[in-house]
């Protein structure tokens, strides 16, 4: 065994031992727990370099997924022309990925808890890379649709492990900095996807047209797979868990019944069966909750750990995450349509216009977790909701004032304000949701966080047909494409601003401070206030 292999094995062993110790320490006094935790931290053999390299690897995989979600939208016209794809096939190229991704997230998270987060992460990365190659070399639209569904399923195995590995690898006092970096990656991925897609499509590398948007994942996936095997330490739930197959079936069925009508509703004219299907999804979710309660009581291995919702920070954070996903789902789609169809801008110009937004998100995310949240707690997230809402209103005012003559530089100010607000939310929110989650349920919690965000995005995309396309009306038949899209964009922004107000109110249910910041403050106070007793 080489020194590197020995270090990796020791790191994995320490991870599981720490989980087990954490379960035992819950029955000890607080001072004993602190002493034990301190001792464990000091005896941890994994060097800082390996831990941060592991973080870089999982962040690269998360970035690859974030980019892949948005990069396809820019290349849709090229795919439609060169691959001769029908409207329905184009719809499924984007919807197939989203459905497979959302339906598998909770299961993927739980599989990581059971079989090891490193193992599932590497399987997901490998499968995602292979699926990307199949997408890039697809011989026809049918093969591309099938490959995209496979890609979404592999992403569902990979993505939940990212937060789980972070949660299990880094001690509480370091997670704030880590989630700040995670928020920066989210900000970069949100805008880098369209920009990268525009560049790769317009460059037409080697005459491959749209195919490089998928093939670019291959080197990233191979490097992540090679380095991940070496530097990521294994971790899993300390007690043996079993996969809840009935829970998997109910979750998948419920999400499919909810998301499929939302995805295809506008194209199909919102048929009656779509509404019945969405209503039936609520019945399926109710059955899931009832079954999971019995499953937890029987053998302690439910797919969805319902006890997590008794943790106030987790339950409140999940609600905020869902509604926030709705706002982002509406804004990013109508924003893209507004620039490319309403204003007639090229994909490259639209992508470059979003760069200030991406930079603002990255800067604010790092600053919020490392500097602001430890000092001001929940107020930082609430300030983020207000700032982002103000940016939306500023954007609405500029769109109304300048109309079709608006320039990219005029959009910079509202986009920077919105980006700063979003950065103050995304990183601290993830920190708040996971701060009090036990390590053994990190995978399940991570899967739930990603799932509700995807559900929120899907709901937002479904609402676009009402708040955006519903306002265009007959103006397209009159040849008023630009004015129609500008008007619809302004109307949609009012909804986004209203949703940000709702998010501000929901944030009042979050703890004033996350667990690690409150504990740090409590430990620092006695050190300052307590004075040595006089010696007689």
SS (H, E, C) 444-511: HHHHHHHHHHHHHHHHHHHHHHHHHHHHHHHHCCCCCHHHHHHHHHHHHHHHHHHHHHHHHHHHHHCC
Q: Which helix (H) or strand (E) holds 369?
A: none
> Confidence class of residue 240 from pLDDT cuts 50, 70 and 90?
low
The 10s digit of each residue's pLDDT in 271-287 is: 899 899 999 999 999 99
> Confidence class of residue 15 from pLDDT cuts 50, 70 and 90?
very low
Decide if pLDDT at 445 tops 50.
Answer: yes
Decide if pLDDT at 46 tops 50.
Answer: no
Mean of pLDDT values over 166-184: 74
In this prediction, residue 88 carries a pLDDT of 65
% of residues, the chain, pLDDT over 90: 22
- Select from 448, 464, 407, 194 the least CA-distant residue to 317: 448
> Confidence class of residue 479 from pLDDT cuts 50, 70 and 90?
low
In this prediction, residue 332 carries a pLDDT of 83
In this prediction, residue 3 carries a pLDDT of 38
In this prediction, residue 420 carries a pLDDT of 93
In this prediction, residue 516 carries a pLDDT of 54
Residue whose structure tokens are 């955006």: 468
Decide if pLDDT at 19 tops 70.
Answer: no
Measured CA angle at 458 (ends 261, 446), to 5 deg = 125
Angle 172-203/408-434 helices, nearest 10 degrees?
A: 140
Decide if pLDDT at 20 tops 60.
Answer: no
Q: Write the CA distances from 95 to 102, 139, 188, integer angstroms.
A: 11, 20, 23
- Select from 122, 129, 94 the least CA-distant residue to 108: 122
**Structural domains present in the chain:** 1-12+46-177+194-243 (1.20.1250.20), 251-299 (no CATH), 304-510 (1.20.1250.20)
Write the burial class of residue 184 (CB in 10 Å: 0-12 exposed, 13-18 middle, 19+ buried): buried
Which pair of tokens denotes residue 381?
A: 């997230």
Q: Write the CA distances from 87 to 94, 141, 207, 395, integer angstroms.
A: 11, 11, 24, 32
CB contact at 8 A, 312 and 437: no
Decide if pLDDT at 533 tops 90.
Answer: no
Length of the chain: 536
The 10s digit of each residue's pLDDT in 58-111 is: 888 888 887 877 777 777 767 877 777 776 677 678 777 877 887 788 888 888
Mean of pLDDT values over 314-324: 89
What does the mean pLDDT of the chain come to? 78
Euclidean distance between CA atoms 532 and 535, whole angstroms: 9
CB contact at 8 A, 421 and 388: yes
Euclidean distance between CA atoms 465 and 477, whole angstroms: 18
CB contact at 8 A, 468 and 334: yes
> Confidence class of residue 396 from pLDDT cuts 50, 70 and 90?
very high
Residue whose structure tokens are 């890039």: 136
At residue 517, the 3 state secondary structure works out as helix
At residue 235, the 3 state secondary structure works out as coil
Which pair of tokens denotes residue 72?
A: 């396809």
The 10s digit of each residue's pLDDT in 177-218 is: 777 677 667 667 766 777 787 788 777 777 778 888 899 889
CB contact at 8 A, 187 and 454: no
Q: Got the DSSP string for 267-297?
A: HHT--HHHHHHHHHHHHHHHHHHHHHHHHHH
Q: What does residue 150 show for φ and ψ, rounded to 5 degrees?
A: -60, -40
CB contact at 8 A, 147 and 270: no
How far is Cα of residue 34 from the mean position of the Cα atoms in its chain? 32
Greater model confidence, 410 or 530: 410
């Amino acid at each position: 065994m080489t020194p590197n292999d020995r270090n990796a094995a020791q790191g994995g062993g320490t991870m599981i031992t720490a989980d087990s110790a954490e379960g035992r320490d819950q029955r000890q006094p607080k001072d004993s727990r602190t002493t034990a935790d301190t001792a464990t931290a000091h005896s941890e053999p994994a060097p800082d370099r390996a831990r941060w390299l592991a973080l870089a690897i999982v962040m690269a995989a998360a970035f690859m997924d974030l980019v892949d979600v948005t990069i396809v939208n820019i290349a849709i016209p090229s795919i439609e022309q060169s691959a001769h794809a029908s409207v329905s096939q184009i719809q499924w190229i984007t919807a197939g990925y989203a459905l497979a991704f959302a339906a598998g997230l909770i299961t993927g998270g739980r599989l990581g808890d059971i079989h090891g987060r490193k193992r599932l992460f590497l399987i997901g990365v490998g499968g995602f890379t292979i699926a990307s190659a199949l997408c890039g070399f697809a011989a026809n639209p049918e093969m591309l649709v099938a490959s995209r569904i496979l890609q979404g399923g592999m992403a569902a195995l990979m993505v939940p492990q990212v937060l789980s590995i972070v949660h299990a690898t880094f001690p509480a006092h370091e997670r704030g900095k880590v989630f700040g970096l995670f928020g920066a990656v989210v900000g970069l991925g949100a805008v880098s996807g369209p920009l990268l897609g525009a560049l790769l499509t317009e460059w037409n590398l080697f005459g491959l047209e749209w195919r490089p948007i998928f093939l670019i994942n291959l080197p990233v996936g191979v490097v992540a797979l090679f380095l991940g095997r070496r530097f990521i330490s294994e971790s899993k739930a300390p007690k043996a868990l079993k996969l809840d197959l009935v829970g998997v079936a109910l979750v998948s069925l419920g999400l499919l019944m909810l998301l499929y009508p939302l995805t295809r509703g506008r194209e199909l004219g919102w048929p009656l069966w779509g509404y019945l299907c969405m209503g039936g999804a609520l019945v399926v979710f109710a059955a899931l909750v009832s079954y999971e309660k019995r499953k937890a009581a029987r053998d302690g291995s439910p797919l969805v750990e319902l006890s997590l919702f008794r943790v106030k920070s987790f339950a409140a954070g999940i609600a905020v995450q869902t509604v926030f996903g709705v706002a982002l789902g509406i804004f990013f789609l109508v924003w893209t349509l507004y620039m490319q169809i309403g204003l007639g801008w090229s994909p490259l110009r639209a992508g470059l216009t979003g760069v200030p937004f991406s930079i603002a998100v990255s800067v604010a995310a790092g600053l919020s977790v490392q500097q602001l949240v430890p000092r001001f707690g929940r107020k930082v997230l609430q300030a983020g909701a207000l700032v982002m809402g103000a940016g939306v209103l500023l954007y609405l005012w500029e769109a109304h004032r300048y109309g079709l003559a608006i320039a990219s530089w005029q959009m910079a100010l509202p986009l920077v304000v919105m980006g700063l607000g979003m950065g103050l939310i995304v990183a601290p929110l993830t920190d708040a949701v996971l701060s009090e989650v036990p390590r053994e349920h990190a995978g399940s919690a991570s899967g739930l966080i990603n799932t509700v965000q995807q559900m929120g995005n899907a709901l937002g995309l479904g609402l676009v047909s009402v708040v955006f396309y519903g306002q265009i009306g007959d103006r397209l038949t009159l040849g008023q494409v630009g004015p129609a899209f500008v008007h619809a964009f302004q109307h949609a922004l009012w909804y986004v601003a209203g949703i940000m107000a709702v998010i501000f109110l929901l944030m009042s249910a979050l703890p004033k401070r996350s667990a690690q910041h409150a504990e740090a403050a409590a430990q620092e106070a006695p050190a300052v206030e307590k004075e040595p007793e006089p010696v007689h």
